[in-house]
Amino acid sequence: MTQTILITGANRGIGLALTKQFLSNGETVIATCRVPDRAETLQTLTKETANLTILSLDVADENSIAALSSTLNDQPLDVLINNAGILSGTNPHASVLDKAPDQTLGSINSEGWVKVLRTNSIAPVMVTQALLPNLRRGQTRKIVMISSRWGAITHMDSTIPLAYGTSKAALNAATKIISSTLQNEQFVVVTLNPGAVRTDMGSQEADLAPEESARRLVKIINALTPEQTGQFLRHTGENIAW
């Protein structure tokens, strides 16, 4: 069975690696990003396969989400992967190695914090809500939120950027609520921790290459069952305490 997977933030990092992995498995991928014309790697991939479509989506803009929903119309989706996210609301080039003052107690930037929450916590819910009709037409009905170990309250300490950590904790909470809401419709709604990945955000000192993280995540996603809905899973498959 060929699946149709929609991935947000698919132009770089983990999102791009997931796109490549699903395509290599013969799946159909709808890759979304803010400016498709600048997504050079995705544009190259469209010349190599007919299974890839690139669509515009700014997850923090509800008009953009509505436009995506309108473009998709009645197209069935089997898997939605809410991957798009930011680390900092004030520094677009921030990495996990930075001790960001905008996320440190004593110098927190409230506007930046709100931007992180909107992108990382609220936007995945709004995208999910807009695409529910498409997912209901799909065969597997899987919704995946890409989160972080830093969103687990049991792991939180002073080393975690405050805005980012709280945004992922909020996303985790939303995942639990959505999973319960959709459980009777046989949806599988989970949060996945991709690990420490060598991306612009994760830094080049991280443990995993994007390709390896994506390979592990795709294996988990493909094997998900309704009994796993509401779980927080590590890239190696283990459950993570909330």
CA pair distance 119, 163, nearest whole angstrom: 11
Name 32's bridge partners.
Answer: 55
Q: What is the pLDDT of residues 143-195, one digit of tens each?
A: 999 999 889 998 899 889 999 999 999 999 999 999 999 999 999 999 999 98
Catalytic one among 115, 164, 176, 219?
164
On whether the CB atoms of residues 21 and 46 are closer than 8 A, the answer is: no
Q: What pLDDT is recorded for position 108?
A: 94
Q: CATH number of the domain at 178, please.
A: 3.40.50.720
Give domain status of residue 86, yes or no. yes
Q: What is the pLDDT of residues 74-115, one digit of tens each?
A: 999 999 999 999 998 888 777 776 778 899 999 999 999 999
Average pLDDT, the chain: 93
Residue 172's identity, in one-letter code, is: N
Q: pTM for this one? A: 0.95
Give domain status of residue 239, yes or no. no
Catalytic one among 20, 99, 168, 219?
168
pLDDT at 119 over 90: yes
Q: What pLDDT is recorded for position 205?
A: 57
pLDDT at 202 over 60: no
Q: Which domain holds residue 170?
A: 4-234
Residue 152's identity, in one-letter code, is: A
Query: Which region among 34-38, 68-72, 87-91, 218-222 has the lowest average model confidence (pLDDT)?
Result: 87-91
Give domain status of residue 240, yes or no. no
pLDDT at 213 over 90: yes
Give domain status of residue 53, yes or no. yes
Give domain status of residue 241, yes or no. no
Q: What pLDDT is recorded for position 11?
A: 95
- For the chain, what is the domain count? 1
Q: pLDDT over 70 for what percent of the chain?
A: 95
Query: Which region among 8-17, 46-55, 97-106, 213-222 has the lowest average model confidence (pLDDT)?
Result: 97-106
- Indicate left, alpha or beta for 38 from its phi (over 0: left) and psi (-120 to 50: alpha): alpha
Give domain status of residue 242, yes or no. no
What's the whole-number mean pLDDT along residues 208-213?
89
Cα diameter, the chain: 53
Catalytic site includes residue 164: yes
Burial (Cβ within 10 Å: 0-12, 13-18, ≥19) of residue 196:
middle
Query: Which region among 1-15, 34-48, 76-90, 199-213 has the lowest average model confidence (pLDDT)?
Result: 199-213
Catalytic site includes residue 168: yes
Q: What pLDDT is recorded for position 86?
A: 94
Q: What pLDDT is recorded for position 197?
A: 82
On whether the CB atoms of residues 198 and 185 are closer than 8 A, the answer is: no
On whether the CB atoms of residues 231 and 187 are closer than 8 A, the answer is: no
Residue 204's pLDDT band, with cuts at 50, 70 and 90, is: low
Give domain status of residue 216, yes or no. yes
Q: What pLDDT is recorded for position 195?
A: 84
Identify the CA nearest to 212 among candidates 236, 228, 190, 238.
236
pLDDT at 214 over 90: yes
Give domain status of residue 158, yes or no. yes
